[in-house]
Structure 1
Amino acid sequence: MEKYDVVIIGAGPSGYAAAMRAVDFKKKTLLIEKNTLGGAGITNGALSSKTWWELSRDMLAFRKNLARYNMTAPATIWKEIQLEVNQAVKERIDLLQDHLNQLKHSSQYNTYLDYQTGTAEIIDEHTIRISTENINTDVEADYIIIASGSRPRILPNIPIDEKHILTSDTIENMDDFPKSMVIVGAGVIGCEYATIFAGFGQTKVYLIDKGDTILPFEDQDVVAVIEKTLEEQGVHIHRNSTLVNMEIKDGQVVYQLEFSDGHTETFEVEKALISVGRVPNYENIWSDAVPIKMNRRGIEDTDTNTSVKNIYAIGDITADINLVNVGELEGRYAIEKIFGKPCRQLVYENISTIMFLNPEVAGVGLNEKMAKEQGLNYKAVTVDYTTIPRAIAKRDTQGFIKLLVTDDDEMKVLGMRVVGEQASSAIQAVALLISMDKGIEELAECVHPHPSITEGIQESVRALLGKSILKSGLLKNKVNCYCYNCEKEELRAF
């Protein structure tokens, strides 16, 4: 039986990152993947859906620009878009595969990493059985890392056939743009696909929202911008509605909703997308002899440690944040914890996120809703994109920057949300301040390139410090500073 220092089950973003960090430590490593190299981080997930989003955004901008000159945009061809997305996915998979091949033939790394396609099962705390077709092979490992990822959550009362009623695993495999589509679930994934299909302009999109606003975890000012844009692009949001029934009739999807006032309505569309979250892939990963504890969200872990001392869990299989960058962080951290000493503790407070909507939404740390739930007093500033020269130059001033800090003299950064063009490029400096537990003074005097969206962050900081160029409260809804007192549950301007 061949022995390894570490065996990693799953070659998605977290597993791949863990394997490469193990190579840094010169440890004999086996990386196992049962499906496609790169996992959902590439296929039917982060890369593919974001490529759809980029192409949709380009098409929307193209139509707007032609409309400016009274010109009609040609119809988008599904097969051409699908081909472009598939090419993007292939490029990334080919890159990772080529990297593995180069490692295998490198005199520096060739003894450290093996890659194998197959299904893995942990037989006991140090034995992994790999099944490929009709062949079973057992290997031994000092340490095991589970990185088996997740899949779309299925609702048992909905007849998902992946042809008419689909999940995010198959939505990109359709033959053409549907004339109409309903999306069940108004969270991030549901809203992203609503944005994508609305942007291409060939599908009437309906979005089912059980509450009175989409994206229920976000602040209302963020949600308001996204809702406004979706509705301007023709998306119909079924607010305060519960899905009572969904079935396929004569090749169409018929669904019934019950609204909060008690009345019901029935609708008919070509396609439905079920987007109600993801569930961890833990089935058949370990035998009953391996006492790994689970909860309803995934494997119970403490800083990537499971209840079995030599077995670790990373990525979507855990109950932590299900994001590619988080999975990669956990993968690298787990290896450093096993074979070395991490330079810093694994924390999630400074994780940067992007929601690929229209406009895009980027965030780090707490929003106002989270701060209130934690009983924190805070100061906040909002700076509208209409005050930022780069946004004006781009002729796209929809959006704003919102920065939250502690309500004390230190003014340590609690979090930030940016809604608008190039939002994701504007948050990393603030993420660094959060990780360093620092205040905002460093950002106030930093010289930003001009014109740039990040100048809006500088103006936000200056406003909190009382030395902004545009004074708070003077320009209606342009620059505003306010405090929140959790005991009194009140906001006041300052």
Structure 2
Amino acid sequence: MEHYDLVIIGAGPSGYAAAMRAIDLEKKTLLIEKNTLGGAGISNGALSSKTLWELSRDMLAFRKNLDRYQLEKPRAVWKEIQSEVQSAVSERIHLLRNHLQELQTNAKYTPYIDYLEGNASIISEHLVEVETEKERLAIEADYIIIATGSRPRYLPNISIDEKHILTSDGIEHLDDFPESMVIVGAGVIGCEYATIFSGFGQTKVYLIDKGDSILPFEDPDVVAVIEKNLEAQGVHIHRNSSLSHMERKDGKVVYQLDFSDGHQEIFEVEKALVSVGRIPNYENVWKEAVPVKMGQRGVEDNDTKTSVKNIYAVGDITADISLVNVGELEGRYAVEKIFDVPSKKLIYENISTIMFLNPEVAGVGLNEKTAQSNGLNYKVVTTDYSTIARAVAMRNTQGFIKLLVTDDEEMRILGMRVVGEQASTAIQAVALLISMGKGIEELAECVHPHPSITEGIQESVRALLGKSILKSGLLKEKVNCYCYNCEKQERIMI
């Protein structure tokens, strides 16, 4: 029976990252994957959907530019778009596969990494069984990491066939742009796909929203920009509605909505996308004799450690944040924790996120909604993109920067949101300062390249410190600083 220091079940972002960290520590490691190398981080997920978003964004910008020259707008060809997405996915999988092959033939790394394609099941605390196409293997392991990821969540009483009623697993296998599509769920993924298909300009998109605004976890000023652009692209948002029935009928998808005011309506579209979150892949991963404890949202873990002393869980299988960068962070950290070399405790407060919308939205730390729900007093500055030279040069000044700090002399950074072009490039310095528990003085005196979006962050910091070029409150909606008092629940301009 083959023995390993570490067996990792799942070769998605978290599992692959864990394996590479184990190699660094010279631990004999077996990485197992039953489907596609790279997992949902590549296929039917992050890379594929973001490639679609990039192509959609290019098409939307192209169509807008043609208006300036009074030229006829072209139509995107779905097969070409689909081929480009598949090429991106194949490139990434090919890179990872070649990397593994190189590791397994390089004398420096050969003793530490093996890779199997097959179905793995944890039989006991130290025994893993792997069924490949050719054989069934028994593997002994000192430690095990579960990194089996997640899949789209289904709704009861809705028959998903991945042809007419789809999830994100089937959306990229369409035969053509649908003439119309309803998206069930107005969270991040639902809004991203609404942005994608409306951006191509060939699909009438409907978005079902239980509340009175999309993205219910975000601040109203962020939501307002996204809603405005979605509706400008022809998206119809069914606000204050719940889906009571959906079925295929005569080659179409018919759905009924119950609205909060009591009335009902029936609609007909060509396709439907169900986007109501994801659920962990845990079925048949371990036998009943292995007491891994599950919670409502996934495997219960304490700092990546499960209820079984030598078994760890990382990525979407857990109840933590379901993001590729978080999964990779957890994978590396779990390995360090197992072999007693973590440099610092795993923290989530400085996790950077990006929502691929129109415009993109990047964030780190707390937003105002969360700060207020936590009962915090804080200072906040908002700086409009129209004050940033780079945004003016790009001829796209829609968006803003919002920075939250503690309401004290230290002004420790609580969080930031950037809405607009190149938003994701602007937040890393702030993420670093949050992780270090630092204030904002460091940002105020940095020399940023000119022109750049990050200059807007510097101006925001200077406004909070009372030494900005554009003074707070003088230009309507351009640069404004406030204090928020939690007890009085009010903003006061400063």
The count of aligned residue pairs is 494
Residue 223, structure 1, aligned to residue 246, structure 2? no
Inter-partner Cα distance in structure 2 for 1:202 and 1:338? 51
Q: In the alignment, which residue of structure 1 is the partner of 2:371?
A: 371
Q: In the alignment, which residue of structure 1 is the partner of 2:188?
A: 188
Q: In the alignment, which residue of structure 1 is the partner of 2:101?
A: 101
Q: In the alignment, which residue of structure 2 is the partner of 1:92?
A: 92
Residue 298, structure 1, aligned to residue 295, structure 2? no
Inter-partner Cα distance in structure 2 for 1:160 and 1:108? 48
2:344 is paired with a residue whose SS is coil
Q: Which deviations, in whole Å up to 9, do the C-alpha atoms of 1:360-412 show, x marking residues without a partner?
A: 00000000000001100000000000000000000000000000000000000
Structure 1 residue 213 displacement after superposition: 0.3
Q: In the alignment, which residue of structure 1 is the partner of 2:445?
A: 445
Residue identity over aligned pairs, in percent, reads 78
Inter-partner Cα distance in structure 2 for 1:160 and 1:336? 41
Q: How does 1:3-402 map to 2 (within 5 A)?
A: 3-133=3-133, 135-402=135-402
Inter-partner Cα distance in structure 2 for 1:104 and 1:424? 35
Structure 1 stretches of 4+ moved >2 Å:
none
Structure 1 residue 423 displacement after superposition: 0.1
Q: In the alignment, which residue of structure 2 is the partner of 1:478?
A: 478
Unpaired segments of 5 or more residues in structure 1? Answer: none
**What TM-score comes out, normalization by structure 2 length?**
1.00
Q: In the alignment, which residue of structure 2 is the partner of 1:434?
A: 434
2:256 is paired with a residue whose SS is strand
Structure 1 residue 339 displacement after superposition: 1.3
Unpaired segments of 5 or more residues in structure 2? Answer: none
Q: Which deviations, in whole Å up to 9, do the C-alpha atoms of 1:259-314 show, x marking residues without a partner?
A: 11000111000000000000000000000000111101000001100000100000
Which residue identity is paired with 2:432?
Answer: L
Inter-partner Cα distance in structure 1 for 2:441 and 2:132? 58
Which residue identity is paired with 1:196?
Answer: I
Structure 1 residue 159 displacement after superposition: 1.2
2:430 is paired with a residue whose SS is helix
Structure 1 residue 340 displacement after superposition: 3.0
Inter-partner Cα distance in structure 2 for 1:276 and 1:117? 30
Q: Which deviations, in whole Å up to 9, do the C-alpha atoms of 1:428-461 show, x marking residues without a partner?
A: 0000000000000000010000000000000000
1:101 is paired with a residue whose SS is helix
Structure 1 residue 489 displacement after superposition: 1.2
Q: Which deviations, in whole Å up to 9, do the C-alpha atoms of 1:222-267 show, x marking residues without a partner?
A: 0000000000000000000010100100010000001110001110
Inter-partner Cα distance in structure 2 for 1:120 and 1:488? 56
2:491 is paired with a residue whose SS is strand
Which residue identity is paired with 1:143?
Answer: Y
Inter-partner Cα distance in structure 2 for 1:95 and 1:149? 20
Inter-partner Cα distance in structure 2 for 1:375 and 1:340? 37
Q: In the alignment, which residue of structure 2 is the partner of 1:467?
A: 467
Inter-partner Cα distance in structure 2 for 1:273 and 1:336? 40
Residue 420, structure 1, aligned to residue 423, structure 2? no
Which residue identity is paired with 1:245?
Answer: H
Which residue identity is paired with 2:418?
Answer: V
1:294 is paired with a residue whose SS is coil
Which residue identity is paired with 1:297?
Answer: R
Inter-partner Cα distance in structure 1 for 2:271 and 2:201? 16
Which residue identity is paired with 1:435?
Answer: S
2:110 is paired with a residue whose SS is coil
Structure 1 residue 488 displacement after superposition: 1.2
Inter-partner Cα distance in structure 2 for 1:97 and 1:317? 23
Inter-partner Cα distance in structure 1 for 2:5 and 2:406? 45
Inter-partner Cα distance in structure 2 for 1:68 and 1:162? 40
Inter-partner Cα distance in structure 1 for 2:422 and 2:133? 47
Structure 1 residue 134 displacement after superposition: 6.2
Which residue identity is paired with 2:84?
Answer: E
* Superposition CA RMSD, Å: 0.6
Q: Which deviations, in whole Å up to 9, do the C-alpha atoms of 1:37-56 show, x marking residues without a partner?
A: 00000000000000000000
Q: Which deviations, in whole Å up to 9, do the C-alpha atoms of 1:308-355 show, x marking residues without a partner?
A: 010000000000000000000000000111113211110000000000
Inter-partner Cα distance in structure 2 for 1:432 and 1:385? 23
